[in-house]
């Protein structure tokens, strides 16, 4: 029977902000809430309204999300109904910690409902679908009796209308705050206040608000009818003027600069990697206008419908339509893929400005003459009023005020495209000026296609696109050729598309374009997005790579002055940026090329089909980042994974040099049971390129060097999660293992594997032999597994690994290998095994977070090696350390 006495006995309401509560009356619909609770252990609480109270279960691993997935649910005391509105901080005592309203809505019974099983459906902001709560048996697997409080929460299969998030995010559905923001606030009252909601909607980093902006009430979006009366008194804000909704609005554009402004009177936003869209709402009908004035409503129907559901008469929003990865980073390739497959339901409209507003009962006002500071405050409060936050199809774009350089560095570390800086007091002007500035974390620009070359070797479609941009006199200037970044399907599609608009003469003003006999000219009407290394002295791009098509750009608007960054040519043919950084001369781009003195055949062969990465791009990556790769890889015996035809084709492992290997590659003779065999190793960037020329994708290495083969100088602990293991479990295990090693006065360094898990690498002074090192690693793993048997296992069988992280110590035996730091993996997307700082380990990280596409940006932004101090941390495996882990010496 429902009872609140237990709930009240456990709490001191003179200290705790939790509601004392009382039993409620039966309502037409039963509510539910899921709290995220950072108490002694982080967990979730499922609360179902029944019998005038909230029946409650603690979920140590959160709600189950995948069909068939079972999560433990421990029944706890009933809670009062008004606890469903509680969000805040519980002080020291029972349940001390931060509480978030992670989800809420209504629930209903769908089947069985008795003392041992509840079949139910949730209809919440995040969770929509079917589940079962089933009480576990009277006795556990060990024969011990249970107390009847252990249940299982089981996700059931749903119809097409159900939805669950990809992961357990960290955002409240009522205040849009994360756990940190809630914890930093003072203890909350029994509900999240409207003022805190407003602060969260516009971000805690937004220091200043316009006092003249007032909210009259809140209403929901999503197609529901608006209540009478306006939401916001936009007509009272300074600079607002009564006018009709602009019929053909133009977008404000940002000017490219090398560095973000330092002054405090600038707002800084993330630069999104998508399509710039002005959303024009006029009495329930939306136009989604590109920069060149085309209406793309039919291309993004779901976003249009979401905007049409807002309780507004008229509005003009400025924003960007993007495809977001799970880590929240926008991905232009995914956006292009979604459009190509006509799957736009998963896209997002990031709204960052409000230019016009008309609500019921108020005249429409143009906001272009309102200062940005006030427009953003108005937009934030409007979004809060209609429940547009940090999730869903429509999202508010937050900003920070000041700290431009620090914000740019953070964007670089996270692999973002860049930032946009805007003067806080600037008015909105539909043209390019220096009130808005953009700073990119890599060189990226747009170019007009004027021709193409024939394919070479096994490549199909075309060889390279010939690209350019218009100068101030309106003449198309040649900027180089781009052949990397195209998938096989894109090569075929582009060749067919280009063949439809041929022309007899070159559209470029230059007449010294290389390999004219191999070129075909086309009408310059297509615009593409390109990343590149730098501009060469003669105005060409170095290492350009195709990113996507820009259908929203007019070729005539692609100006050379806007694509070039501030670089000064040097006498030796290299260039120098405005910051004084010197860059290498350009590499020739004709047929077979040379990189680091190594001849590369078939450079345009695509090795990663999905990412369009060529053999040349891979070789350039290893050559240009050799200073990062070689310290951990040089002069160690290697095992290579060779895939001459690319990922998805035939691959094989090679330890010993074959007849086809170049004679100048270094090798070392190593005694094995079957005799003495040569092993390859690398000394230089040229050796890495030579191995790529032979089809090598992955480098795996020994834990010892060639000059001291029998004494390892590092240990590698491989954390390999089972398929049903959550990423948080991997994080927890990594931290537990680090602590266990720290207790032995050993320092562990962290690396993503580019696969599923993590590596912890411990530097050693080469002293102990292989047998001792392997036994020590095993003993450390056993010690951790004994402490946390529910999380860890050393057993490699699939059955034993269910829901656990495998601690693999076997990489520490003689002849065993582990993937090298900064080695690309032969997997879709070209992930890279990447050293990281311990501070980088968190929910937003993933084992394949860094790829060949985004890692160069990260490395360029780092001021310090993530593994700085690796050599200084070397320790011996002493007898005392061995005894401390239970080894017999």
Alpha-helix residue ranges (DSSP H) falling in 396-474: 404-413
Distance, CA of 436 to CA of 255 (rounded, Å): 6
Task: List the structure tokens of 320.
Answer: 């960007």
Placement of tokens 């960052």 in the chain? 352
Whether 317 contacts 279, CB under 8 Å: yes
Separation between Cα atoms, residue 729 and residue 727, nearest integer Å: 5
Number of continuous H segments (helices) and E segments (strands) in the chain: 16, 47
Tell me how far apart the alpha carbons of residues 158 and 668 are, in angstroms, rounded to a whole number.
59
The pair phi, psi for residue 178, each rounded to 5°, is: -90, 180
SS3 state of residue 407: helix
Token reading at 160: 């097409």
Using CA atoms, how far apart are residues 451 and 514, in angstroms rounded to an integer?
12
- Angle at alpha carbon of residue 264, lines to 387 and 185, rounded to 5°: 45
Residue 761: HSE in the Cβ half-sphere, 13 Å Cα cutoff: 30
Question: Which helix (H) or strand (E) is 375 found in, with range?
Answer: helix 372-385
DSSP secondary structure of 32-75:
EEEEEEESSSEEEEEEEEETTEEEEEEETT----STT-EEEEEE
Q: 447 vs 303, 347, 462, 530, CA distance in Å?
A: 29, 25, 18, 7
Confirm if 760 and 734 have CB atoms less than 8 A apart: yes
Q: What tokens appear for 227 in the block?
A: 């209540």
Alpha-carbon distance of 233 to 243, in angstroms, equals 15
840: its two tokens: 């980088």
Cβ of 315: how many Cβ atoms within 10 Å?
Answer: 21
Residues serving a catalytic function are 271
């Amino acid at each position: 029977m429902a009872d609140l006495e237990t709930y009240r006995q456990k709490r001191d309401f003179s200290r705790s902000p939790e509601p004392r509560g009382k039993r409620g009356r039966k309502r037409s619909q039963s509510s539910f809430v899921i709290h995220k609770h950072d108490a002694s252990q982080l967990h979730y609480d499922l609360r179902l309204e029944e019998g005038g109270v909230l029946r409650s279960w603690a979920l140590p691993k959160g709600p189950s999300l995948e069909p068939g997935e079972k999560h433990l649910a421990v029944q706890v005391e009933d809670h009062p109904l008004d606890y469903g509105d509680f969000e805040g901080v519980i002080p020291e005592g029972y349940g001390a910690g931060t509480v978030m309203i992670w989800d809420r809505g209504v629930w209903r019974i769908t089947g069985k409902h008795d003392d041992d099983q509840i079949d139910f459906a949730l209809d919440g902001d995040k969770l929509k679908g079917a589940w079962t709560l089933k009480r576990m048996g009277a006795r556990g697997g060990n024969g011990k009796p249970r107390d009847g409080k252990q249940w299982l929460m089981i996700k059931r299969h749903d119809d097409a209308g159900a939805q669950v998030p990809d992961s357990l995010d960290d955002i409240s559905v009522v205040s849009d705050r994360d756990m940190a923001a809630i914890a930093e606030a003072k203890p909350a009252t029994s509900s999240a206040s409207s003022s805190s909601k407003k602060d969260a909607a516009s971000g805690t980093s937004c220091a200043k608000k316009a006092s003249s902006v007032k909210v009259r009430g809140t209403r929901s979006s999503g197609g529901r009818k608006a209540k009478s009366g306006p939401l916001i008194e936009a007509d009272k804000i300074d600079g607002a003027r009564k006018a009709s909704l602009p019929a053909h609005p133009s977008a404000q554009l940002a000017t490219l600069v090398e560095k973000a402004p330092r002054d405090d009177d600038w707002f800084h936003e993330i630069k999104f990697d998508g399509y710039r869209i002005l959303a024009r709402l006029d009495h329930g009908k939306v136009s989604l206008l590109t920069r060149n004035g085309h209406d793309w409503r039919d291309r993004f129907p779901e976003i249009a419908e979401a905007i049409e559901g807002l309780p507004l008469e008229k509005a003009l929003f400025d924003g960007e339509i993007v495809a977001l990865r799970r880590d929240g980073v926008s991905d232009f390739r995914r956006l292009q893929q979604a459009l190509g497959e006509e799957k736009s339901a998963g896209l997002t409209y990031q709204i960052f400005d409000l230019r016009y507003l008309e609500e019921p009962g108020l005249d429409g006002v143009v906001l272009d003459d309102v200062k940005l500071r006030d427009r953003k405050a108005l937009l934030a409060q409007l979004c809060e009023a209609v429940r547009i936050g940090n999730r869903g199809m429509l999202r508010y774009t937050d900003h920070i005020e000041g700290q431009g350089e620090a914000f740019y560095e953070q964007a670089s570390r996270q692999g973002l495209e860049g930032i946009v800086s805007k003067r806080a007091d600037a008015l909105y002007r539909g043209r390019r000026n220096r009130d808005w500035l953009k700073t990119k974390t890599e060189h990226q620009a747009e170019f007009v296609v004027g021709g193409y070359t024939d394919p070479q070797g096994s490549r199909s479609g075309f060889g390279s696109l010939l690209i350019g941009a218009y100068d101030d006199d309106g003449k198309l200037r040649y900027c180089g050729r781009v052949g990397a970044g195209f998938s096989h399907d894109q090569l075929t599609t582009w060749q067919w598309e280009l063949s439809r608009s041929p022309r007899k003469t070159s559209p470029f003003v230059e007449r010294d374009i290389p390999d004219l006999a191999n070129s075909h000219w086309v009408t310059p009407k297509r615009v593409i997005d390109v990343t590149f290394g730098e501009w060469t002295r003669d105005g060409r791009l170095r290492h350009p790579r195709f990113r996507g098509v820009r259908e929203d750009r007019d070729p005539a608007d692609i100006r050379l002055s806007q694509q070039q960054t501030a670089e000064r040519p040097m006498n030796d043919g290299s260039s120098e940026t405005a910051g004084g950084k010197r860059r290498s001369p350009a590499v020739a781009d004709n047929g077979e090329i040379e990189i680091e003195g190594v001849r590369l055949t078939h450079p345009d062969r695509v090795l990663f089909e999905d990412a369009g990465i060529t053999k040349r791009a891979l070789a350039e990556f290893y050559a240009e980042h050799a200073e990062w790769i070689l310290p951990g890889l040089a002069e160690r015996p290697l095992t290579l994974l060779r895939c001459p035809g690319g990922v998805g084709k035939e691959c094989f492992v090679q330890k010993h040099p074959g007849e086809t290997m170049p004679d100048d590659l270094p090798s070392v003779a190593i005694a094995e049971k079957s005799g003495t065999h040569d092993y390859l190793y690398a000394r230089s960037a040229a050796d890495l390129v030579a191995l790529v020329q032979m089809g090598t994708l992955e480098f795996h290495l020994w834990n010892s060097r060639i000059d001291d083969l029998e004494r390892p100088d590092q240990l590698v602990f491989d954390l390999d999660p089972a398929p049903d293991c959550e990423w948080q479990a991997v994080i927890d295990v990594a931290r537990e293992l680090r602590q266990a090693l720290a207790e032995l006065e050993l320092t562990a360094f962290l690396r993503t594997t580019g696969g599923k898990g993590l590596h912890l690498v411990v530097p050693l002074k080469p002293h102990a032999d292989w047998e001792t090192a392997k036994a020590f690693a095993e003993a450390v793993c056993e010690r951790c597994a004994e402490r946390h048997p529910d999380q860890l296992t050393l057993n490699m069988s699939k059955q034993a690994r269910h829901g656990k992280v495998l601690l693999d110590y076997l990489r520490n035996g003689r002849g065993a290998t582990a993937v090298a730091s900064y080695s690309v993996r032969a997997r879709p997307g070209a992930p890279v095994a990447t050293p990281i700082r311990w501070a980088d380990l968190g929910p937003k990280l993933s084992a394949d977070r860094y790829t060949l596409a985004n890692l160069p940006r990260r490395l360029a932004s780092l001021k310090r090696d993530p593994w700085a101090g690796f050599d200084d941390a070397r320790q011996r495996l002493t007898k005392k350390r061995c005894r401390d882990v239970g080894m017999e010496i």
